[in-house]
Amino acid sequence: MLILKDNAMKPKIFIDGEHGTTGLQIRERLAKRDDLEILSLAHELRRDDALRAEMLNDCDVAILCLPDDAAREAVSLIGGGGNSRTRIIDTSTAHRTHADWVFGFAEISAGQAKLIANAKRISNPGCYSTGAIALVKPLIDVGIMSSDHPVTINAVSGYTGGGKQLIAQMEDTSRDDHVATSYYLYALGLGHKHVPEIMTRGGLTRRPVFTPAVGRFAQGMLVSIPLHLDTLTGGNTANAIHDALTNHYSGQNIVEVAPLSVGSELSKICPEDYAGLDTMKLYVLGDKDTGHVNLVAQLDNLGKGASGAAVQNLNLVLPTL
């Protein structure tokens, strides 16, 4: 067991699963901070449940960067001893639709940041979900889109979203399972694990058609939702949609809405442009002749889409410890 920083007056933070892709990025974000005490288990001790339980129950905030079953186990290790003090930020899919967990997307609605700040249990959004929910929920909230609207979501992510195995497959050409292609679709059975979260937290009652893809770049993401204006319930103009998004995200500095783009004003949007950033940019792309609109979210799959969002949620929690 290793304690990186030692100061009893500082909040204690334990990243359970710090050696995975998301955990490593969270640790990097926290490494230079002097306002926290970081509890850490050596890589070879990461499966020692007794030590994990000790860390989980000794910390003020536990950030879980684990597969779903392991995340549920970690929660039971905290709650099993009657610990009501330790706050949890879970980056897995395990609790994202659970009614007792606060959804860790501060910009999703007015008052959400306050709910996060005071929550005992926070479920971090998924990367694709962050982009999709950011685009559809404001439109449903103001009545431009109905909750049962037939939504199609197309997205591409950097390969770090697939974790260490996919990173190795992409980067190590000597592997038998090396992935040489530049781009591929996956989850072709239309059952991606982010769909329930997009529906529950985005306000959709009809299951969207979601087609994700992986590109040959490490970090970055685009989430695209095309719309026919004449199928919307009201305010069916590109300007009204843009106004709804602009009004929804005003007064904060994490989610930016780009100026409305009609016709060929904008030539391209690149997923890698937001790599390394913990913010997100939303676009409304219209065509005055066809009545079509394309909504696009641009973010880093490990920034606002994972590690950056976890640190944002941690920063909201810290003043309330």
- The average confidence (pLDDT) of the chain is 93
What is the pLDDT at residue 42? 84
SS3 231: helix
With a CB cutoff of 8 Å and minimum separation 6, the contacts of 222 are 131, 155, 156, 269, 271, 296, 297, 298
The active-site residue out of 59, 65, 127, 270 is 127
What is the pLDDT at residue 2? 43
What is the pLDDT at residue 91? 97
CB of 209 closer than 8 Å to CB of 152: yes
Tally of CB atoms within 10 A around 310: 27
Q: What is the pTM of this model?
A: 0.93
For 215-237, the pLDDT digits (tens) are: 999 999 999 999 999 999 877 89
For 65-104, the pLDDT digits (tens) are: 999 999 999 999 997 667 888 999 999 999 999 999 999 9
C-alpha–C-alpha distance, residues 77 and 65, integer Å:
15
SS3 282: strand
CB of 80 closer than 8 Å to CB of 64: no
For 113-166, the pLDDT digits (tens) are: 999 999 999 999 999 999 999 999 999 999 999 999 999 999 999 999 999 999
In this predicted structure, the answer to whether residue 3 has a pLDDT above a threshold of 50 is no
User: Would you place residue 4 in the very low, low, confident or very high pLDDT band (cuts 50, 70, 90)?
Assistant: very low
Is 270 annotated in the active site?
no
For 45-164, strand residue ranges (E) read 61-64, 87-90, 102-103, 121-123, 152-158
CB of 146 closer than 8 Å to CB of 294: no
User: Would you place residue 8 in the very low, low, confident or very high pLDDT band (cuts 50, 70, 90)?
Assistant: low
What is the pLDDT at residue 61? 98
For 283-305, the pLDDT digits (tens) are: 999 887 889 999 999 999 999 99
What is the pLDDT at residue 80? 65
Q: Which domains does the chain have, with CATH numbers?
A: 2-125+306-320 (3.40.50.720), 127-302 (3.30.360.10)
C-alpha–C-alpha distance, residues 89 and 123, integer Å:
6
